[in-house]
Amino acid sequence: MTSGEIVTARHIVIRGGVQGVGFRWFAREEAGRLGVAGWIRNSGDGSVEAVIEGTDAALEAMLAWLRVGPPAASVTAVDVTDAVPSGSRGFRIDR
């Protein structure tokens, strides 16, 4: 992102067969490719939770990827809500 670009954020919960399939690692790679910041983690209920920040175009591309996930994943639902940008730099996997 360059200075002056509008940054927005989304909170996402991905459900289905999304744990134990490398979802978080693949998501980190995709976020880096797209210039998206934020974090991703496994949740206790079997879902994967993330907060992503970036331009609208970058977030739409990341959301499109999250709706499918890596080859071994089986995404059944993706819940997206607006979030407040925190100014994150980079994309990390939380545990």
Question: Which amino acids are annotated catalytic?
Answer: 24, 42
Amino acid at position 7, single letter: V
Q: Which residue has the tokens 């693949």?
A: 26
Q: What is the residue whose two structure tokens read 């134990």?
A: 20
Structure tokens that stand for 60 in this block: 């739409």
Residue given tokens 């940054």 in the structure block: 7
